[in-house]
Chain A
């Protein structure tokens, strides 16, 4: 192991600790201007860091770093490959948008001021960044806990009995998930004496114990990621949280769980699981697509539609397990990225609707006010990508997934992806139908005005949605990066 250039090390340190330090500063120095500006400056800076690191990685390939120069098994290792980099970018972009949006949108009570919201989110950001690059099971466990606790707190800040109930439910699921995950980790440690993923990869220890441990960890992660059928906490929690927090939870936190599932199955546990387990995971994913979409079609509140959509969209990511080809790998990363951008855009746009008309009932979208039109456009653009319609990142992801399925002869997954796209279109266009409908009876009532939307609340979701569309044109440029550090089971 050669030491990486000091700038690369510094860059990673900034990614891990930057948000944490920024959060502490914002909390301790509660000047409103500083409080608003510091996270924005930080996120812009981190994007520059990511740009630099991506360029470096194109030259050197995946990077393994050790904190303080101590490698595993004694030290703490970080591993950055294409998948991790994609998630870091997603976090950076969504983070920037949210940081701009909350300068106008987060308006909490006196007992829980805006600095409180910011420190929770910034700590969560650090935890997520660390989670994406963590390379040993124990660190992953600690960081999962940290991210879950801050995420639950972000749900609870909405206050009111409904929020407390949703947060409590989330807490129970998260705790149970942690327990299962920890049991799995303990089993691995007892059997092998190792925790570092790199060490486990090179160790030959097949057997029922490894499959059992993988099962326990997967169950734990599934509960945190709200994969079907252990998703029950997600819709209420994501719908009740402040919209900026919902964007983070849906686009990033839930995805982190699935990210780890894929990482474990295709990394250290590759070859341990029989083929039918991979198929079964994808069947659960498909069931999640169907269930989440049908629930989304039945909701009457905008944020619930978007939240159920998350349950559905996470299911696609599991298709990489049975398909296991380069195209599927690219397709899944593409899907994760474009879903993240589109979902964050949708939740921020839903927040804007609540800001403008006071609630998120779908009928409220029919208020014939032109101020709502721009926001409906955001939802339309994000929805197009979500449903995998061209031209968008979601479309390219869907194309690759179907291509991978047909190429490997597993045509049934092509039908799942195609059908899932139709179901997505059904709930996306149902929302848009309300936006196109004849004016609402409340229209023009002076006691129910439509509030003017500040620009810094309009543009963040608009740019995120345009980003999801733009991904559709960036494939040629991104694929060389996506190719870095494909797991071993995926043939080049």
Chain B
């Protein structure tokens, strides 16, 4: 095991160590903490860059340590891993800068940034976990490290949201644990394999189905699949950078990433279809897409509407996983990246609104576009992309999903996509209308942009979101990367 091959470990450790240092420093050492934060994020980005180059060259990254007989801690980087860790590494750097600006002068920053780094370490671990045991360790570590971020403000409302968050995620974790151990009993401890290691003959069908459902429920909680989604809209009481991270890369992405692993690398697409589980997943995902969008229509709070939108959008990925065929896979996986970029931009904008002008409700958004043109410009582009206006990122995802549905004969997918697009437009366009075309209330006309530490990250992610759509044909775009992955699956 050379140092180079153990790269996934360094990627995880770079944020884990940052977290330990930040906790040890305490609240006083502000400059050192900021330096540690940024340095760790930059180092991670460099490491991920080296890994990307390596994986593209065909190098194999991995390491394994036996923690106990039969329980191996395995990290391994495949193409799917790289998708999630590249996205998280980039967005982490941006979000760190945003969070430093956002939480200026608020108490308990050491605690916040310590858990923030830990949360990223957990995400990296989930992405590079090479077997279910390792996956579970990081999956639960993510729950543990995000809870303090959700309740960070310490208000009764935040504490209640945290309670709900834990009740959902830990129950899901327990189901996942029992499912994973059950699979250990019938199939033995096996690493993830493309095409899955469980076969029809591993155990009887009801047992395989039960274990699949347990693991799907366990990962589905974090992915906010209906009916396990209720924690997500509540958890938006967290500070804006946390919501941004939770919705874009950390929690929901890790959940849906787990579903992808379960379908692609544990059961395999064929066995999933044989057990009829693809229909279950597709049905749940399709319902969640519509349900989340309808709920978003009725939300009056900006962040709440965005949260419901996440519930809906993440299920696109689930839908893409469930439908057989490479086109749907591409549509689903590319949405993992696209949704992350768009949603983080939207949450940054929501944070800017609330931090600069105390605007939290949609009703307060009248005329705000002219007061904060840059922020609302980014918001507008991200929202249009979410709706799926061509040739933006959201459109690319929907296009491939629709093609995939048609290719496998599931024409209803197109119906779901059309309905969801209409609903997306129905909840995003009124926000844009208020922001640009409604006269502001008297007295609220002062033109003031968010400070640079908030604005720059917003614009960067906004540009990435727009670019990944307009430049989808370029060799290093998310789409091309995902096409590469789908060839390997």
Asked whether A and B interact, the reply is yes
List residues of A whose CB falls within 8 A of some B CB. Answer: 366, 368, 370, 373, 377, 384, 389-391, 395-396, 398-399, 402-403, 406-407, 414-415, 418-419, 421-422, 425, 429, 433, 436-439, 472-473, 475-476, 479
B178 touches A437 (CB 8 A): no
- Closest chain A residue, CB of each to CB of B147: A429
Number of A-B contacts (CB under 8 A): 87
A389 touches B26 (CB 8 A): no
A475 touches B137 (CB 8 A): no
Set of chain A residues within 8 Å of B473, measured between Cβ atoms: none
| Given contact pairs A421-B174, A433-B151, A389 touches B140 in the complex (Cβ within 8 A) | yes
User: Is B395 an interface residue when CB atoms closer than 8 A count as contact?
Assistant: no
Set of chain A residues within 8 Å of B108, measured between Cβ atoms: 373
Set of chain A residues within 8 Å of B185, measured between Cβ atoms: 403, 406-407
| Given contact pairs A396-B71, A475-B68, A402 touches B181 in the complex (Cβ within 8 A) | yes
A429 touches B140 (CB 8 A): no
Pick from A407, A415, A439 the residue with the most CB of B within 10 Å: A407
User: Is B159 an interface residue when CB atoms closer than 8 A count as contact?
Assistant: yes
Set of chain A residues within 8 Å of B107, measured between Cβ atoms: 368
5 cross-chain pairs, A with B, having the tightest CB-CB distances, nearest first: A475-B68, A438-B154, A390-B137, A418-B174, A406-B185
Set of chain B residues within 8 Å of A407, measured between Cβ atoms: 185
User: Is B360 an interface residue when CB atoms closer than 8 A count as contact?
Assistant: no
A-B residue pairs in contact (CB < 8 Å), sample of 14 = A368-B107, A389-B140, A389-B143, A390-B137, A396-B68, A407-B185, A418-B175, A421-B174, A425-B166, A425-B170, A429-B163, A437-B159, A439-B154, A476-B68
Q: How far is the CA of A396 from the CA of B156 in the complex (A)?
A: 34
Q: How far is the CA of A486 from the CA of B463 in the complex (A)?
A: 63
Set of chain B residues within 8 Å of A384, measured between Cβ atoms: 144
Determine how close the nearest CB of chain A comes to the CB of B90; give it in whole angstroms: 27
Beyond the given A433-B159, A436-B152, please list 15 additional residue pairs across the A-B interface where CB-CB is below 8 A: A373-B108, A373-B110, A389-B170, A390-B136, A402-B181, A403-B181, A422-B171, A425-B166, A425-B170, A436-B159, A438-B156, A472-B67, A475-B67, A476-B69, A479-B68
Determine how close the nearest CB of chain A comes to the CB of B46; give it in whole angstroms: 27
- Grouping DSSP codes into helix (H, G, I), strand (E, B) and loop, the B interface class, with mixed when no group exceeds half, is helix
Q: How far is the CA of A317 from the CA of B148 in the complex (A)?
A: 31
Q: How far is the CA of A402 from the CA of B108 in the complex (A)?
A: 38
Q: How far is the CA of A398 from the CA of B140 in the complex (A)?
A: 14
List residues of B whose CB falls within 8 A of some A CB. Answer: 23, 26-27, 66-69, 71, 107-108, 110-111, 136-137, 140-141, 143-144, 147-148, 151-156, 159, 162-163, 166, 170-171, 173-175, 177-178, 181-182, 184-185
Q: How far is the CA of A48 from the CA of B140 in the complex (A)?
A: 36
| Given contact pairs A403-B181, A422-B174, A429-B166, A437 touches B67 in the complex (Cβ within 8 A) | no
Q: How far is the CA of A384 from the CA of B163 in the complex (A)?
A: 16
Q: How far is the CA of A81 from the CA of B66 in the complex (A)?
A: 25
| Given contact pairs A373-B111, A418-B177, A390 touches B166 in the complex (Cβ within 8 A) | no
A479 touches B147 (CB 8 A): no
Which of B69, B140, B148, B171 contacts A436, CB < 8 Å? B148
Set of chain B residues within 8 Å of A368, measured between Cβ atoms: 107
B154 touches A436 (CB 8 A): yes
Set of chain A residues within 8 Å of B66, measured between Cβ atoms: 476
| Given contact pairs A425-B170, A429-B166, A475 touches B69 in the complex (Cβ within 8 A) | yes
Set of chain B residues within 8 Å of A373, measured between Cβ atoms: 26, 108, 110-111
B171 touches A396 (CB 8 A): no
Set of chain B residues within 8 Å of A377, measured between Cβ atoms: 23
Determine how close the nearest CB of chain A comes to the CB of B161; give it in whole angstroms: 11
A390 touches B140 (CB 8 A): yes
Q: How far is the CA of A473 from the CA of B147 in the complex (A)?
A: 24
Q: How far is the CA of A398 from the CA of B162 in the complex (A)?
A: 25
Determine how close the nearest CB of chain B comes to the CB of A213; give it in whole angstroms: 37
- Closest chain A residue, CB of each to CB of B182: A406
A402 touches B67 (CB 8 A): no
A391 touches B141 (CB 8 A): yes
Q: How far is the CA of A415 from the CA of B162 in the complex (A)?
A: 25
Set of chain A residues within 8 Å of B71, measured between Cβ atoms: 396, 399, 475
Set of chain B residues within 8 Å of A438, measured between Cβ atoms: 153-156
Q: How far is the CA of A262 from the CA of B446 in the complex (A)?
A: 74
- Closest chain A residue, CB of each to CB of B141: A390
Determine how close the nearest CB of chain B comes to the CB of A301; give it in whole angstroms: 19
B177 touches A370 (CB 8 A): no
| Given contact pairs A414-B181, A433-B163, A389 touches B67 in the complex (Cβ within 8 A) | no
- Closest chain A residue, CB of each to CB of B67: A475
B159 touches A414 (CB 8 A): no
Determine how close the nearest CB of chain A comes to the CB of B207; give it in whole angstroms: 10
A370 touches B68 (CB 8 A): no
Determine how close the nearest CB of chain B comes to the CB of A326; give it in whole angstroms: 10
Set of chain A residues within 8 Å of B159, measured between Cβ atoms: 433, 436-437
Determine how close the nearest CB of chain A comes to the CB of B184; give it in whole angstroms: 6
Set of chain A residues within 8 Å of B174, measured between Cβ atoms: 418-419, 421-422
A370 touches B163 (CB 8 A): no
Which of A391, A433, A439 contacts B137, CB < 8 Å? A391
Determine how close the nearest CB of chain B comes to the CB of A153; give it in whole angstroms: 39
Q: How far is the CA of A370 from the CA of B28 in the complex (A)?
A: 10
Set of chain A residues within 8 Å of B148, measured between Cβ atoms: 436
B155 touches A370 (CB 8 A): no
Set of chain B residues within 8 Å of A390, measured between Cβ atoms: 136-137, 140-141
A406 touches B181 (CB 8 A): yes
Q: How far is the CA of A399 from the CA of B159 in the complex (A)?
A: 30
Q: How far is the CA of A377 from the CA of B170 in the complex (A)?
A: 20
Determine how close the nearest CB of chain A comes to the CB of B241; give it in whole angstroms: 17
A433 touches B141 (CB 8 A): no
B162 touches A433 (CB 8 A): yes
Determine how close the nearest CB of chain B comes to the CB of A435; give it in whole angstroms: 9
Set of chain A residues within 8 Å of B170, measured between Cβ atoms: 389, 422, 425
Set of chain A residues within 8 Å of B166, measured between Cβ atoms: 425, 429
Q: How far is the CA of A302 from the CA of B385 in the complex (A)?
A: 51
Q: How far is the CA of A419 from the CA of B177 in the complex (A)?
A: 11
| Given contact pairs A384-B144, A407-B185, A414-B181, A479 touches B69 in the complex (Cβ within 8 A) | yes
Set of chain A residues within 8 Å of B162, measured between Cβ atoms: 433, 436
Q: How far is the CA of A370 from the CA of B107 in the complex (A)?
A: 10
Set of chain B residues within 8 Å of A439, measured between Cβ atoms: 154
| Given contact pairs A419-B174, A429-B147, A437 touches B154 in the complex (Cβ within 8 A) | yes
| Given contact pairs A389-B140, A414-B178, A403 touches B67 in the complex (Cβ within 8 A) | no
Set of chain A residues within 8 Å of B171, measured between Cβ atoms: 422
Q: How far is the CA of A149 from the CA of B174 in the complex (A)?
A: 41
Determine how close the nearest CB of chain A comes to the CB of B209; give it in whole angstroms: 15
Set of chain B residues within 8 Å of A476, measured between Cβ atoms: 66-69
Q: How far is the CA of A436 from the CA of B182 in the complex (A)?
A: 36
B151 touches A396 (CB 8 A): no
Set of chain A residues within 8 Å of B163, measured between Cβ atoms: 429, 433
B151 touches A436 (CB 8 A): yes
Set of chain A residues within 8 Å of B68, measured between Cβ atoms: 396, 475-476, 479
Set of chain B residues within 8 Å of A429, measured between Cβ atoms: 147, 163, 166
Set of chain B residues within 8 Å of A414, measured between Cβ atoms: 178, 181
Q: How far is the CA of A475 from the CA of B148 in the complex (A)?
A: 29
- Closest chain B residue, CB of each to CB of A438: B154
B177 touches A402 (CB 8 A): yes
Determine how close the nearest CB of chain B comes to the CB of A429; give it in whole angstroms: 6
B27 touches A370 (CB 8 A): yes
Determine how close the nearest CB of chain A comes to the CB of B317; give it in whole angstroms: 25
Q: How far is the CA of A156 from the CA of B225 in the complex (A)?
A: 55
- Closest chain A residue, CB of each to CB of B183: A406
Q: How far is the CA of A398 from the CA of B68 in the complex (A)?
A: 13
Q: How far is the CA of A479 from the CA of B70 in the complex (A)?
A: 11
Determine how close the nearest CB of chain B comes to the CB of A450; give it in whole angstroms: 15
Q: How far is the CA of A73 from the CA of B153 in the complex (A)?
A: 67
Which of A366, A398, A418, A473 contacts B67, CB < 8 Å? A473
Q: How far is the CA of A436 from the CA of B155 in the complex (A)?
A: 9
Q: How far is the CA of A389 from the CA of B143 in the complex (A)?
A: 10
Q: How far is the CA of A419 from the CA of B153 in the complex (A)?
A: 30
- Closest chain B residue, CB of each to CB of A433: B159
Q: How far is the CA of A472 from the CA of B26 in the complex (A)?
A: 27
